[in-house]
Amino acid sequence: MKTQWYGDKRDLVKWATLLHPCDERKLKSIIQVPFLTDGESSHKLYVDDRPHKFPMLVWEHFRDLNHIKPVGKKAGVEIRIIPEGRFHHGQRDAYIEEVCRAIDASAGYPKAVFLDPDTGIEPAKADERHVKVAEIRKIWRCLRPGDWLVLYQHASRSKDWRSKQRRKFASACGVLAVRICGCKTIAHDVVFFCAERK
């Protein structure tokens, strides 16, 4: 997920989706795996057509992933963001290993683990915008019974993108039952796939 996309309308649907199973299934924790890459922060503020430095204080405030934590606190859900570093495509394996270690070390109560790449599951080949099917499978194996795996999926140009990507997600998790969550009025171009580890 690029920092520039954080805090947009899709985040409203994202966090509504994530709080739903917490409320419905009494989950006490959400672990967000942001696949965070650096977005553009070199924007200029123009005053009378003259460029001025954009205040980093403003940029950092509205792009800080940790600002969601008070929402979790109000909902009675701990929100953790792992890993703390940036995602680099060339170091994917190390990133996923760190995610798995953090999941293994997490408390024993049921939780939602949220995979938040830029666009979702890899098409034919993954780049920094995607999560690989093999990575979903590896993270799924780290979950305990009662845990949920949730994945952000952006629309592609294919008309049946929801069903194609849902099948990939279901196959990676080895399940048939996958919930699809979304909000057509706020962000019709994204869905969230959700599966419970039995």
pLDDT in tens, 64-107: 888 899 999 999 999 999 987 789 999 999 999 999 999 999 86
> What residues in the chain have per-residue pLDDT under 50?
3-4
Question: Given this model, what pLDDT does residue 27 score?
Answer: 93
Question: Given this model, what pLDDT does residue 85 score?
Answer: 77
Question: Given this model, what pLDDT does residue 13 score?
Answer: 92
Question: Given this model, what pLDDT does residue 109 score?
Answer: 85
| Residue carrying the six token digits 């939602």 | 112
For the 3-196 domain, the top CATH level (class) is alpha beta
Question: Given this model, what pLDDT does residue 4 score?
Answer: 47
**Which of 67, 87, 90 minimizes the C-alpha distance to 1?**
87
Question: Given this model, what pLDDT does residue 6 score?
Answer: 56
Three-state secondary structure readout of 115-165: ECCCCEECCCCCCCCEECHHHHHHHHHHCCCCCEEEEEEECCCCCCHHHHH
Axis crossing angle, helix 133-142 with helix 161-173, rounded to the nearest 10: 50
Longest CA–CA separation in the chain, Å: 60
